[in-house]
Structures are given as structure tokens and as C-alpha cells.
Amino acid sequence: MTMIYIYAFASVVLVSFVSFVGIFMLSFQEEKLRKYIFIFISLAVGALLGDAFIHLIPEAFSEIKDVMLASILIISGILIFFALEKFLHWHHHGEDKEESHIHPVGRLILFSDSIHNFMDGMIIGASFLISIPVGLATTLAVILHEIPQEIGDFTVLLHAGYTKMRALWLNFLSALLAIAGVLIVLALGKEQSLTLWISPIAAGGFIYIAIADLIPELHKTKELKYSILQIVAVVIGILAMVALTFVE
């Protein structure tokens, strides 16, 4: 269990530091960033779908003997993430940037991301309680999803009126809630019911994020060469999840 705690804590700290991706963003021109961000989004799609279908869902059906219950939990994950995005606007694609909405949008971004990061921490913690390889796969999927999201959130915070440094630090403080999530899960120990419920719900959430949020963003790119790169990047993300099965 000691190794599980070390891996889980180190992974969630790494995920938290992904919030500083905005630092690297500052060195790129906005036009170039918009041109190549689809690569990160494509990798995230592959990693999220791969983790859900190759790791989390098979594990859920293996551990939960009731197939109907496992299926309902996966669907529940999709609906939970749909409801959270609907009412908290996690990703804020195409958000209104009018002056009267600037500051509320910035605060909403920080609030919704805090909840998101807390859940990421719980998901990572529960995944490591299943096994270290599953935990590593989930961590990689979360990181690949967080990179494009953090870039987008950082941009919105800048538009909300925050300075670059303040936007970076507020984003980082929000990300630290992932540590609280993993600590709560680990404090409960290898609680079978907790692991059984969180894993399929997380799988449903990953499927929702990939299909409802990220893939529509990829469809905005029409050029043939970029579309091919998208498909290649998605496949690479999936293969990364497949590769992790060989260390189980």
C-alpha cells in the first residue's frame, strides 16, 4: 500500500503542475497556438477513450459481477459530467466575452475547475487502488486532457481581466484541489465499494469529455493534412493506453 500512496500522490502533484502549462503558452503567438493545439486535443481524445475502454470499463465488469449495475454506473458517469458541464460550463468553448460578463466568467472558470480537479484527484486515487498500471493509465489520460483544457482556461482568465501571473497562480491553486481528492480516497483505504463505483463513473465521464467536448473541437479543422494528423494523434493516444497493459 505504501507504493500505491507514493504513486498516487506523485501523480496527482504532477497533474496539478500541468496548470502551469500557461507559462509555455506565453512564448507562443496566439495564432500559432490555435493552429497546433488540435494535436494536444487529439492525443487527449485517444487517451481518454483508451483509458475508458481498455482499462476502466473492463476492470469495472471484472470486479462488479452485476453487469446491469456496471452499465448503469458508466451511463451515470456520462450524465453526471453532462450535468456538471451544463450548469457549471467547465470548458467554456465560445464563451461570451462582453465587458459585462468578463469577471463572472473568470470566477466561474475557477470554481468549476476546482470541482473538476477535485474529482480528477478522486478518480486517480481510486484507479491506483485498483492497480498501479491502471492508476498510471488514468493519470496519463488526465494529463493529456488537462493540457488543452488548462490552455483554454488560462486564455479565458486573461480575457477576464487577470494579469498573466495572477491567472497562472489562481489556476494552480485551483489545481491543488486534486490533491485533496486523492487524499480523501487514500484515507479511506482500499474500500471496495468506493473503487467499484468511482471507476465506471470515471469511465463514463472520460467518454463524455472525449465525445461531447473534444471531438467537436477537432471537427472545426477542415484541412486534409490536419485531419490526418488528428487521426494519427488519436491513435497514438489509444496506443499509449494499450502499451500500459503490458506492464500489468
What is the pLDDT averaged over residues 150-159? 69
H-run or E-run covering 52 = none
pLDDT > 50? residue 102: no
The reported pTM is: 0.69
Cell 486573461, located at residue: 158
pLDDT for position 101: 40
Average pLDDT of the residues in 53-61: 89
The predicted pLDDT at position 99 comes to: 40
At residue 97 the predicted structure's pLDDT band, cuts being 50, 70 and 90, is: very low
Query: Regarding predicted confidence, which is higher, 95 or 35?
Result: 35
Q: Cα Rg for the chain, rounded, in angstroms?
A: 18
Cα 69 from Cα 200, distance rounded (Å): 10
Mean pLDDT confidence for 24-28: 65
Residue 103 — pLDDT band, cuts 50, 70, 90?
A: very low
> Are 218 and 41 spatial neighbours (Cβ–Cβ below 8 Å)?
yes
Task: Give the mean pLDDT of 28-51.
Answer: 77
> pLDDT tens, 60-96?
898 888 899 999 999 998 998 888 777 756 444 444 4
Kindly list the domain boundaries of the chain, sorted by start residue: 2-245
Q: At what angle do helices 132-159 and 192-208 cross, to 10 degrees?
A: 50
Share above pLDDT 90 across residues of the chain, in percent, rounded to a whole number = 17
Task: Kindly tell me if the per-residue pLDDT of 147 is higher than 50.
Answer: yes
pLDDT at 90 (0 to 100) = 47
99-104 long-range contacts (CB < 8 A, ≥24 apart) are: 102/159, 102/160, 102/161, 103/160, 103/161
Q: Mean pLDDT across the chain, nearest whole number?
A: 79
Q: Which of the residue ranges 29-33, 184-188, 199-203 would you say has the lowest mean pLDDT? A: 29-33
